[in-house]
Structure 1
Amino acid sequence: MARKSQDGLAEPDDEVALDRLRSMKEEHQLSPWDVVRNYPALVWWAFFFAVSAVGWGFDAQVNGAVISVPEFRRKFGYIYEGEPTIPAAWLSAFNMISSVGQFVGGFLCSIIADRLGRRWGLAVGVVFSCGGIFGEIFSAVRPAFLISKLILGVGLGFYLTIGPLYCSEISPVVLRGITTAGVNLGIVVGQLLSNAAIRGFGGRNDSWAYRGPFAVQFFFIAFFAIGLPFSVESPWYLVHRNDLDGARHALQRLYGRNTNIEVKLKAIQTTVAEELALPESSWVECFQGTNLIRTGISTGVFICQHFTGIIFVISFSTYFFELAGLPTSDSFSLGVGVTACGLVGNILSWVVISSYGRRKIFLTGMISLTICLLLIGILDVVPTNAANWTQASFTVVYCFIYQITIGSVAFVLLGEVSSPRLRAKTTALATAVQSVFGIAMNIAVPYMVNPDAGNMRGKVGFVFGGLALWATVVSFFYIPELKGRTFDEIDTMFAKRITPRKMGRYMIDEDSS
């Protein structure tokens, strides 16, 4: 109960506490359907920014899928044992150069998003991406193609940073898991569109067999170019810039004219005021005190993704099917099937995450993916056509499990674990870690599977199965359960140094009383 002064009015500290309680209570009382029905503008703009992940997913998939196009291999490769083949060194370069650009783009996006806003962050990313796509389409030699992919990678670094950042900031707690998981849905949709484009163009006998899929990416450019001028800036950013009128206007646009947004604005102001009372945030702060744990979890979930072999199983799936001895047309179709099953899994993840939380789903996914990888490795030892098809089937199962579990939950945890004060920087660090491990895996995997190098084929499953097992053990101790928690509650638990694996059972209300 609030304290009263002699004139009967609540004292300022109590007013702040009451505002927080009101805002927290309002959020906890909402259901996902309430948000969709009553705040369509909020849902639309969360979707709009999440589409940035579609562009990232498209490029990530087309990197590996375009290798399965014979015309691409003839243009940028050489003839090895009668078949067009791209040298392992160049194959690694083609796939890792985009991650180098993403590493740079993630940090640039953090700076621009903090200084100019989330909308400008996305706009700059669109410009970089547009230039890179032009280069990919019209490059005639390997070096020019690599430079184009580097420029595109910078834009994709903006995409992958701004999507989860914006969605986590504008979403009510009941919708936060769905919208941040929606970023991963965007990635999967991009992968599906990429494989569909490869399936549609890949059989051509001219340069548009590979140029066509690259050109499809202009759809995303047009989508953002049309929508960005009308988009809503993040209220959190505007309050940070002390633009209260702008924040009030943004909240009104997100929640509608019939909603009293003053309580929400005051809650944001209070949280931001506490942050601004501290020294200006720095990159070093991400690695100090409890922020070190928060940064470790936010970035570690993406390391887990790479340790489960996501680059090998999904990005190189079509090429892997060809190397396993399946016909080219069947390999294209299976590549589409892999991403289609992933799309279904990601949509189902919205229900699963809302019902079962974060920790249980993440750990279940890690265990299941480890088993899948080991089975893929074992089946590669069996020299039969049936084993090849079974092995291919396990990649489809893998993709479904991945997207319904760690593929989606990683983005949810990134949006929840990172502190509001350091969220842009933490998101940039997560993008950087994603890029660094993407570079490492895109260098290593071609040397493992390419016919003129390691030629390990499905035996790579043993390598990633071992890495996934180790990551599962670490995840058990560090993955928290944050379902239904507001940012205030999450901050409180980390400030009190509650062990991450025990956060799901921690009672905030009892402690406060």
Structure 2
Amino acid sequence: MAKEISDAQIENANHRPNSPSDLGPDPGTIQGRAIQQQEHNRGYLETLKKDPWLLFWIGVMLWTLIVRGFENQSSGSVISIPDFKQRFGQLQDGEYFIETKWQSALSGGSNAAAIVGSWAASYFADKFGVKPVILVAAAINIASVGPFVSAIMSYYTSSWEGAWSWKSLICAQWGFAVVGLVGQIFMPESPVYLVRRGKFDQARKSLNQLYSDPHDAEGHLQRIKLTLEEAETQQDSVSYTDCFRGTNLRRTMIAIMVFLSEPMSGLGFVSNYGALMYQYLGIGDQQSFLIQIGAQILSMSGATISFLIGDMFGRRPMYLGGCIGLTLLLLCMGIAGSVDTNAATTAAVGFYTMYNFFYNAGVGSNVYTIAGEVPTSVLRTKTLAVALSVSAAVNTMWSFVAPYMFNPGYGGLKAKIGFVFGAFMLLFAVMAYFFVPETRRRTYEELDELFMNRVPTREFREYVTLAERRAAEAYQVTEKVPEAVRV
């Protein structure tokens, strides 16, 4: 393990011989630390130009989220298609609607299964690797059958006559899932898992599939070794109970909190009952699906904006801003739903539609990033399993409860349900301010140090870690930079 480097050593680095012994016992340590500084120095365009395969495989993994979104949207859209409602629904006030209990079952079943899936994936990923688990999950996903495509298909197929108006939407899920499976077959195994298992040659081969320059691949291999060594030095065991011990408790609670904000913001309600909600507000079947297409365009716009400016402002302000935006939007929706006029109904539809933009611009685009970065490396899969299962459990609860809250004949809240989710998001906005740290442009080693030193939440962004100092000097040594290193 590299020995500590003082400020004086860094400031005087160009006034003395650059020797590997200044930074650690072997060149691998220097290379591993130098690659951290190199990553800090690079921008997105430079990374895209130098390592296109890295971004390609990231895209393959993002496709799995598109599949998830498509399936969630499809289940909610199907119950709003006229032929499906006539075949399987009951007549209510001159119109056919799917019974509330079946609405709950259709959306709640998948969420309940996600709880089991989260724990199983965590266990098998640690034991057999990430890639086999993803492939098995993809195969199960195909056997068990983006949101924008689902909305478009719902709009066009809803006007068809016969069963194919809704069967086509279900069959389309297989197409998305198969594309994901094919890409995942050729995806390299997680190098972190391979290093933890001592399979260094395989880890090196995996990294060479991600990085164009073998020197960079070797540097990242050394960086992973250093990060895991640091984490394992601080962590005696890797059980689920360790997620709630010492400084890991803070990290686990942050992951749980941000993931919990998804269902508590009304995401499951909006994605599963979007078109149906429009219909309850007096919008015609065909028009409701057309509005839903607009909602998904707003959703994509929010995600795109988050991608473009998120790294500029950071995860914390984007997430906090998203929570505040959703709070105001949902409360306004509830207020509009409380007034019985055409203008108020139109306003409620507008607020409900804009939800997609504010959610993806702030909360949705940053939840996975924050929750994936705050856990320590050796407990990451277990921490995520805990956070995801809690989120899925709450989503399951809302899947069964929400239909009874807004459906006619029961709670009948309709747009006034915005008061419920708006109040919860106000609470999450407060918690985000006090507990969600800035993880932007931080390596896992730096984050480990920040949490071990119990750095206050609002100091994460500016705090200079020892890992940063080591990386800066190592980079100077390897690159022979003549100027003094800035830290």
Q: Structure 2 length normalisation: TM-score?
A: 0.88
Letter paired with 1:34: E
* Selected match of 2:188 from 185, 207, 232: 232
Separation in 2 of the partners of 1:10 and 1:76? 74
Separation in 1 of the partners of 2:314 and 2:438? 6
- Structure 1 residues 73-104: Cα deviation after superposition (integer angstroms, max 9, x where no partner): 22332222332222212211111111011111
Partner of 2:323: 366
Contact 2:227–2:444 under 8 Å retained in 1: no
* Selected match of 2:176 from 195, 204, 220: 220
- Structure 1 residues 195-223: Cα deviation after superposition (integer angstroms, max 9, x where no partner): 12211222222222221111111112321
Letter paired with 2:376: S
Matched, 1:124 2:80: no
Partner of 1:296: 253
Separation in 2 of the partners of 1:320 and 1:367? 23
Contact 1:252–1:259 under 8 Å retained in 2: no
The farther-off stretch of 83-92 and 354-363 is 83-92
Matched, 1:112 2:159: no
**Are the structure 2 counterparts of residues 358 and 333 from structure 1 closer, same or farther at C-alpha, using a change threshold of 3 Å?**
same
Runs of 4+ residues deviating >6 angstroms: 510-513
The farther-off stretch of 318-327 and 501-510 is 501-510
Matched, 1:68 2:80: yes
Contact 1:311–1:441 under 8 Å retained in 2: yes
- Structure 1 residues 276-303: Cα deviation after superposition (integer angstroms, max 9, x where no partner): 5544411111111111111111121121
Partner of 2:302: 345
Partner of 2:452: 495
Partner of 1:55: 67
Structure 1, unmatched stretches of 5+, are 134-189
- 2:300 aligned counterpart, secondary structure: helix
- 2:461 aligned counterpart, secondary structure: helix
For residue 252 of structure 1, report the CA deviation from its aligned partner.
Answer: 1.1
- Structure 1 residues 159-210: Cα deviation after superposition (integer angstroms, max 9, x where no partner): xxxxxxxxxxxxxxxxxxxxxxxxxxxxxxx111221221122222222222
Partner of 1:211: 167
- 2:440 aligned counterpart, secondary structure: coil
Partner of 2:363: 406
* Selected match of 1:475 from 412, 432, 439: 432
Separation in 1 of the partners of 2:218 and 2:29? 15
- 1:249 aligned counterpart, secondary structure: helix
Matched, 1:93 2:118: no
Matched, 1:325 2:282: yes
Q: Quick check: which has more Rg, 1 or 2? A: 2
Partner of 1:10: 21
Greater relative CO (CA pairs within 8 A, separation 6+): 2
Partner of 2:153: 197
Separation in 1 of the partners of 2:133 and 2:217? 26
- 1:497 aligned counterpart, secondary structure: coil
For residue 467 of structure 1, report the CA deviation from its aligned partner.
Answer: 1.3
Contact 1:345–1:404 under 8 Å retained in 2: yes
- 1:84 aligned counterpart, secondary structure: strand
Partner of 1:180: none
Contact 2:118–2:389 under 8 Å retained in 1: yes
Contact 1:314–1:338 under 8 Å retained in 2: no
How many residues are matched? Answer: 453
Separation in 2 of the partners of 1:510 and 1:426? 23
Q: Structure 1 length normalisation: TM-score?
A: 0.84
Aligned ranges for residues 149-168 of structure 1 at < 5 Å? none
Partner of 1:431: 388
Identity of aligned residues (%): 30
Separation in 2 of the partners of 1:66 and 1:330? 15
Partner of 1:144: none
Letter paired with 1:10: S
Separation in 1 of the partners of 2:96 and 2:256? 38
**Are the structure 2 counterparts of residues 195 and 511 from structure 1 closer, same or farther at C-alpha, using a change threshold of 3 Å?**
closer
For residue 229 of structure 1, report the CA deviation from its aligned partner.
Answer: 3.0
Contact 2:446–2:467 under 8 Å retained in 1: no
For residue 386 of structure 1, report the CA deviation from its aligned partner.
Answer: 2.5
The farther-off stretch of 290-299 and 306-315 is 306-315
For residue 260 of structure 1, report the CA deviation from its aligned partner.
Answer: 4.1
Contact 2:115–2:389 under 8 Å retained in 1: yes
Partner of 1:187: none
- 2:96 aligned counterpart, secondary structure: strand
- Structure 1 residues 207-249: Cα deviation after superposition (integer angstroms, max 9, x where no partner): 2222111111111232133223322111111111211111111
Separation in 2 of the partners of 1:460 and 1:225? 38
The farther-off stretch of 93-102 and 394-403 is 394-403
The farther-off stretch of 105-114 and 339-348 is 105-114
Separation in 1 of the partners of 2:247 and 2:88? 49
Matched, 1:419 2:376: yes
Contact 1:126–1:221 under 8 Å retained in 2: yes
* Selected match of 2:223 from 251, 255, 267: 267
For residue 512 of structure 1, report the CA deviation from its aligned partner.
Answer: 6.3
Separation in 2 of the partners of 1:415 and 1:218? 28
- 1:254 aligned counterpart, secondary structure: coil
Letter paired with 2:442: R
Partner of 1:142: none
Partner of 2:240: 283
The farther-off stretch of 29-38 and 309-318 is 309-318
Separation in 2 of the partners of 1:12 and 1:470? 46
Letter paired with 2:427: W
Separation in 1 of the partners of 2:437 and 2:120? 29
Contact 2:20–2:30 under 8 Å retained in 1: no
Separation in 1 of the partners of 2:306 and 2:390? 24
Separation in 1 of the partners of 2:270 and 2:309? 23
Aligned ranges for residues 175-186 of structure 1 at < 5 Å? none
